[in-house]
């Protein structure tokens, strides 16, 4: 009888410990799955058509400490298969000290005989002003109808621009999110885990979200915008996490313009380097996750409103933005700590193994769907299969670290310590 009571007690603890899986993770997974299936079916039955819309495109490339690597980005943009004009606007931030990056851009010459429709207009910002300053400087010089905001350490497939621009044939499309892949996948185990995370969290997840027009973010490393809309909303804003900030500001027009859309283009591929050292990875996520709390609870607390965003984006932002990304990490840490002190090691082992198995099953199903329906190079992505076995542990670690990032923002206003902008820029920004 005592063993039976212990068994049912363990079952109750397991249900209590896994509540977020069934209440939050499963509905989100189903939402993404239906979106991916909808996209795949439409893609299978759609007929290829010629693209006659070829506006001038301005590529604003933010450069800081990339050195000679920025040449890879510029070359990949020169080799784009696109019939329209392409304007390259690399912006070297802090050029007085970033001499290697500056020299790499100065030495880069576009041969007019090979690339007759490409122009290079570099901007050297001698004093460092930060990423937002670079983007707005590039926007001021850009003359294209479509503006691409790109990172100087990201290279692109040669069909990227044509895939991105085709969406703007629809006048209701104001921005397009590109598909980011990890370029240094096998440098360390940390980069391999991030490569799998990018496939599931960026590629597949944004396909599903975009189908319902509730995409969460247009990545700062790779996004396209209609220039008129950028001018209308005042360009990028100071502080940090400028990509999510800009996305939320565009979505605040959705109620007034319910036909507006932000698609995701999975065939527009950008390749970026991710942190290779565990310490650098934690520093990156400390900034990313702290910025989420700042934007959701301070800067955009009045904009997250169904009267501005419309009900679909409002509910998605509150549930899977505000709650899952900023509140749930605290619940996970507190409950895990409670179990650690209240349960025996045998019960803890059983609970951990069961929760691990549930998340492994969920990640495996998502991975299979991503490989079979979404991946443009499934054979390459199949090499990441062994990473699945450590992926649930990595995601649990990231969730716990998110709580640290939130505390850092709450107690120390961590967004003001960002490496994305110097202190003298942030000190003149609006304080929230």
For the chain, 432 residues long, the average pLDDT of each consecutive 10-residue run is 50 53 72 93 79 92 90 96 96 91 94 94 91 94 97 94 95 96 96 96 92 93 96 87 93 95 96 95 93 90 94 92 87 84 82 87 93 93 97 94 94 74 66 59
Point out which residues pair with 119 in neighbouring strands: 87
| Res 182: pLDDT | 96
Tokens of 321: 């933005």
Predicted local confidence at residue 67, as pLDDT: 86
Buried b (16+ CB within 10 A) or exposed e, 339-362: beeebeeebeeebeeebeebbbee
List, as one string, the DSSP characters of 348-392.
HHHHHHHHHHHHHHHHHHHHHHIIIII-S-HHHHHTTGGGGGTHH
| Residue 93 contacts residue 128 (beta carbons within 8 Å) | yes
Count other Cβ atoms within 10 Å, centred on residue 4: 8
pLDDT in tens, 234-243: 999 877 789 9
Rounded to whole angstroms, the Cα distance separating 384 from 388 reads 7
- The SS3 call for residue 179 is strand
User: In the prediction, which pLDDT does 338 show?
Assistant: 82
Using DSSP's 3-state secondary structure scheme, residue 148 falls into strand
CA 185 – CA 409 distance, rounded (Å):
30
- DSSP letters along 27-62, please? HHHHHHHHHHHHHHHHHHHPPP--------EEEEEE
Angstrom CA distances, 92 to 103, 144, 239, stand at 10, 20, 19
Which of 298, 281, 300, 305 minimizes the C-alpha distance to 398?
A: 281
**∠204-206-211 over CA atoms, to 5°?**
105
Q: So what's the pLDDT on residue 16? A: 54
Alpha-carbon gap, residue 268 to 204, rounded angstroms: 13
Phi and psi at residue 194, to the nearest 5°? -65, -35
CA distance 331 to 328: 5
The model's pTM:
0.91
**Which of 119, 432, 406 is CA-nearest to residue 285?**
406
CA distance 205 to 288: 18
Q: What is the pLDDT of residue 87?
A: 98
Cα–Cα distance between 200 and 86 in angstroms, integer?
A: 31
As a dihedral over the C-alpha atoms of residue 27, residue 30, residue 31, residue 33, rounded to 10 degrees, the angle is: 160
């Amino acid at each position: 009888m005592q063993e039976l009571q212990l068994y049912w007690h363990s079952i109750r603890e397991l249900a209590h410990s896994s509540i977020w899986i069934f209440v939050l993770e499963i509905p989100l997974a189903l939402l993404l799955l239906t979106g991916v299936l909808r996209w795949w079916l439409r893609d299978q039955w759609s007929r290829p058509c010629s693209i006659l819309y070829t506006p001038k495109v301005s590529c604003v490339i933010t450069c800081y400490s990339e050195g000679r690597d920025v040449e890879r980005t510029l070359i990949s943009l020169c080799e784009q298969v696109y019939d329209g004009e392409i304007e390259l606007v690399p912006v070297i931030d802090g050029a007085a000290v970033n001499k290697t990056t500056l020299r790499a851009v100065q030495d880069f010459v576009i041969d007019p005989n090979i690339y007759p429709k490409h122009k290079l207009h570099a901007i050297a910002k001698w004093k460092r002003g930060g990423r937002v300053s670079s983007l707005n400087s590039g926007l001021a010089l850009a003359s294209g109808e479509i503006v691409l905001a790109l990172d100087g350490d990201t290279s692109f497939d040669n069909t990227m621009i044509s895939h991105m621009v085709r969406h703007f044939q629809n006048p209701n499309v104001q921005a397009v999110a590109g598909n980011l892949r990890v370029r240094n996948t096998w440098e360390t185990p940390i980069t391999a885990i991030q490569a799998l995370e990018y496939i599931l969290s960026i590629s597949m997840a944004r396909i599903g979200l975009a189908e319902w027009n509730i995409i969460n973010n247009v990545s700062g490393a790779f996004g396209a915008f209609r220039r008129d809309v950028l001018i209308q909303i005042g360009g990028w804003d100071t502080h940090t996490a400028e990509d999510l900030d800009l996305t939320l500001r565009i979505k605040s027009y959705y109620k007034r313009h319910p036909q507006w859309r932000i698609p995701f283009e999975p065939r527009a591929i950008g390749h970026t380097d991710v942190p290779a050292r565990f310490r650098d990875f934690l520093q990156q996520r400390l900034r990313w996750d702290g910025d989420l709390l700042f934007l959701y609870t301070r800067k955009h607390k009045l904009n997250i409103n169904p009267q501005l965003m419309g009900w679909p984006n409002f509910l998605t932002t509150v549930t899977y933005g505000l709650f899952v990304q900023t509140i749930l990490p605290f619940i996970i840490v507190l409950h895990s700590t409670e179990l650690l002190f209240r349960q025996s090691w045998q019960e803890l082992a059983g609970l951990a193994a069961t929760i691990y198995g549930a998340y492994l099953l969920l990640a495996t199903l998502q991975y299979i769907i991503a490989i079979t329906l979404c991946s443009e190079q499934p054979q390459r992505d199949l090499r990441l299969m062994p990473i699945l076995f450590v992926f649930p542990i990595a995601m649990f670690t990231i969730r716990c670290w998110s709580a640290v990032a939130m505390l850092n923002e709450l107690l120390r206003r961590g967004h003001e310590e960002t490496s994305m902008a110097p202190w003298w820029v942030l000190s003149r920004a609006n304080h929230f």
